[in-house]
Each structure stands twice: as structure tokens, then as C-alpha cells.
Amino acid sequence: MPILCDRLLKLKEMFNSKFGSVPKFYVRAPGRVNIIGEHIDYCGYSVLPMAVEQDMLIAVEPVKTHVLQLANTNPLYPDFSTSANNIQIDKTKPLWHNYFLCGFKGIQEHFGLSDLTGMNCLVDGNIPPSSGLSSSSALVCCAGLVTLTVLGMNLSKVELAEICAKSERYIGTEGGGMDQSISFLAEEGTAKLIEFSPLRATDVKLPSGAVFVIANSCVEMNKAATSHFNIRVMECRLAAKLLAKHKSLPWKEVLRLEEVQAKLGISLEEMLLITEDALHPEPYSPEEICKCLGISLQELKTQILSPNTQDVLTFKLYQRAKHVYSEAARVLQFKKICEEAPDNVVQLLGELMNQSHRSCRDMYECSCPELDQLVDICRKFGAQGSRLTGAGWGGCTVSIVPAEKLSSFLANVHEAYYQRSNRSLAPEKQSLFATKPGGGALVFLEA
């Protein structure tokens, strides 16, 4: 923890020069890398992330006024202040302070509080933004824990994760809860299988002979600023409804692809066969969806589509369902291989990661040329498996690399991807690094 101690002391100094006082406590919440299980948490399926060492740190001083004063150590993020009792979150602009306000408002609403004390907060983050390592969710979680601590209230880690997952939707992102769950439930030295409804986490011991390496494509993608993400959420919802209708289930109450499988009581492999049978690969128009469900266009727009998907002209339902059911199966296979630990464990896990990337690229269409190039380079220089991680459309890749190949892998990838373009302008430590499972969110009383 020596690096963290240095950061806390530096943060304390900056807080003092900013607010003319000393923080009463500090809160840390980590980012995460999703090893496998992309875009399936909001469909109800388990995922397999681990916390990274990079995190959000907030220095906090409760104040007698009802003013919330937020500042950031990064000059790119301007100061912000507002009344603690009148939180407005502008969905049209994913500004940094709005993520703090999500966590604050989530705790406020959970306890039904109206007369809240103010606070001075200085935020310091070393998770690269818009990189798919969950910097935004780490800030929401950090803010939730800050607010809880200021109020002197108690909640379990699971409750905190659920509140923060729900409250991040104030910014307009229809996420599924993985990022907030791992930020709170992470433990040093182990990845986690995160399951939903009810939320629970199980340790997954990663193979000792391999290292997970994160490489940043340096293409930024802000989930809340783009409709890609929310369109995928809606495509999965529509696919679930059409599959339910096809199997004569009460489709109106079905929201997630997992619910269809649960109601039918069958395997993921069987769900893939039903998808082949029930859905066609050609994109669906809103009119065709209405015909399949026996509803009017007005009903589709007002009862099913979200405001930011009402003008979408085509929906790819077959491809999205195929990705989700196959990816959900890969997560379970990954965990099983980790538990059984055969001699070729690294090769087998690598194959699953490669399959995952292919599915994200071809069926879910959430990759981009730079990510595909980076994945190819990582495999060429010794990764047994490599895939995009996070929402995609930019951000990072995660690769499984045999430990003995690590130093040559880092050198070769650095040269092939970062030095051959002006991407070498990106800070190297934030662009390419080996990582190991870190711990979850914490409160520190002293720097």
C-alpha cells in the first residue's frame, strides 16, 4: 500500500490548499477488468470480473452548510457545487460530477432523507477514463460510500452495490450491476463469479502460471454519451420478448434473456437452438416486431422502447441473443476450468477468451478496428487469449499471458501497437500493464 499512502498524503495537501481545512476521512473504490462475460449482466447472467489496482479516491470533510462542493485533482474536470437537498442530474451531459451525484442521490433516496448535510470532496482517480475499466462506476460507488459514511449509516456491501447499480441509471446508462458489485465485493488475490437476483459473489482462483495484461486501445468511448450501449440493451429485451412469445410464455412481463431460459427450465445450449429456430439473422424493423408480438407501433414505443431507442429503425435480435447465450455458457466453462485446473488450463481459458472476442466483434458488434488490431497483436506476441473488455467500441483489451512470456510480451506489444503510431503519447503505465486481483471499496480515517 505504499503508493496509496503517498497518494493519500498528496490528496490531503491538495485538499488543504483547496478548502483550507483537513479531510475527516478518505474513501477508495477500485476499477475492474471483466475477464469474461461481456454485455450479459443486464440480461441476467453471471460475469467473471476482478478489481484492478487503479481506483477512485475521495477526500471528504462534512460541513455545516447544505452545500456539496466537488473538486477534482485533474484540471480537465472543473469544480462543481450544488445544494445537497436539490440534486439535479443532467442525462444529456455525462459530466464527471454527475457520476458523484448518482451515488449521493442513490443513498439519499434509499433512506428517504431530505435534510442532508453538505460536504467538501476532492476526487483523485488513476483509472483511465472511457477505457472500459469502469472509472465512472468506481466514482458512483465511491460517492455512495462517502455519503453513507457522512450520514453515519450502515449497509452491507451487497446492498451498497445494488443501490449504486440502480442509481447509475440516473445518468441514462442501462447497465446490469457487474461494475458496482465487483467494486464493493472484490477481494485481493481472487477473481469473482458475480451472480444476480439475488446478488452474490463466489471466489474464482485464477491459474498461477498466467498473468492478465490490460492494453488500452486509446480509443475513448463514453457509455452514457452514446446510444450504442442502450440500443444493445433494448435489442436483448426485444429478443427475450420474441423468444418468450415463440414458446407461448407470458412475454409482456419478460425483460431479460435469462428469464426465458429460467421459465423454460432448459440449458444454454438448448436456448441457442431455440434462438436459431425462433429468430432470423436479418434485422427486424419496428413494424415486424409489432407484428410478431401482436401490438401497435404506439404500444411498442410507449410500453417497451426506452426514450433513447424510440427512433431506431432496425434491431438485430438473432445476433444479440446468440452472443448472450453463448457468452453466458463461456463464463460457466471458464469457472469450471479454473476449478479443475488441468495441465493446459491457460490454453483452454485463452480459447474461451478468443471465442468471446469473436462473438463480441461479429454477433454483438461492439468492437472497433483498433481493438481488433490490438487483440491480433497480443495473440501474435504470446497471449493465449485476448479479447475486448468493458462495453467495447474502444477502451481496453485483456489478455491471458503465460508468466514466463510476460516481459517479451509487454515489450513487443508496446513496440507494435503504441510506438508505431502516435499512441505512444498516451501515458505508458495507463496503456499497457499486468494486473492482479485487487481488493474492494474501503474507508480510511487517516492519511
What residue spans define the domains of the chain?
Answer: 1-205+438-445
d(CA 98, CA 102): 6
State the amino acid at position 79 in one-letter form.
Answer: D
Tell me what pLDDT residue 392 has.
Answer: 92
Cα dihedral 341→347→348→351 (10° resolution):
160
Tell me what pLDDT residue 321 has.
Answer: 98
What average pLDDT does range 383-390 have in this prediction? 97
How confident is residue 93, by pLDDT bands cut at 50, 70 and 90?
A: confident
Tell me what pLDDT residue 447 has.
Answer: 59
On the question of pLDDT at 221 being above 80, the answer is no
Q: Give the residue with greater pLDDT, 163 vs 420.
A: 163
Please state which CATH class domain 1-205+438-445 belongs to.
Answer: alpha beta
What does DSSP say about strands 396-402 and 385-389: parallel, antiparallel, or unpaired? Answer: antiparallel
Contact 56, 29 (CB under 8 A): yes
Tell me what pLDDT residue 171 has.
Answer: 87
Contact 286, 302 (CB under 8 A): no
Tell me what pLDDT residue 349 has.
Answer: 98
Find the range with the poorest average confidence among 2-11, 39-48, 194-203.
2-11
Tell me what pLDDT residue 423 has.
Answer: 67
C-alpha closest to that of 46 among 321, 332, 237, 320? 332
What interhelical angle do 96-111 and 135-151 show, nearest 10? 40
**What's the pTM value of the predicted model, to 2 decimals?**
0.92
Q: What is the mean pLDDT of the chain?
A: 93
Kindly report, residue by residue over 268-321, the tens digit of the pLDDT: 999 999 999 999 999 999 999 999 999 999 999 999 999 889 999 999 999 999
**Which three-class secondary structure state does DSSP give residue 421?**
coil
Q: What is the helix, strand, coil percentage profile of the chain, to 5?
A: 50, 20, 30
Q: Which three cell numbers stand for residue 211?
A: 498473468
Tell me what pLDDT residue 130 has.
Answer: 79
Contact 68, 82 (CB under 8 A): yes
How confident is residue 34, by pLDDT bands cut at 50, 70 and 90?
A: very high
d(CA 320, CA 335): 23
What average pLDDT does range 50-55 have in this prediction? 94
On the question of pLDDT at 424 being above 80, the answer is no
State the amino acid at position 23 in one-letter form.
Answer: P
Q: Give the residue with greater pLDDT, 115 vs 26.
A: 26
- Give buried/exposed letters for 426-437 (b at 16+ CB in 10 A, else e): eeeebbbeebeb
d(CA 249, CA 252): 9
C-alpha closest to that of 356 among 34, 8, 30, 11? 34
Q: Which residues are catalytic?
A: 179
Kindly report, residue by residue over 334-356, the tens digit of the pLDDT: 999 999 999 999 999 999 999 99
d(CA 55, CA 188): 14
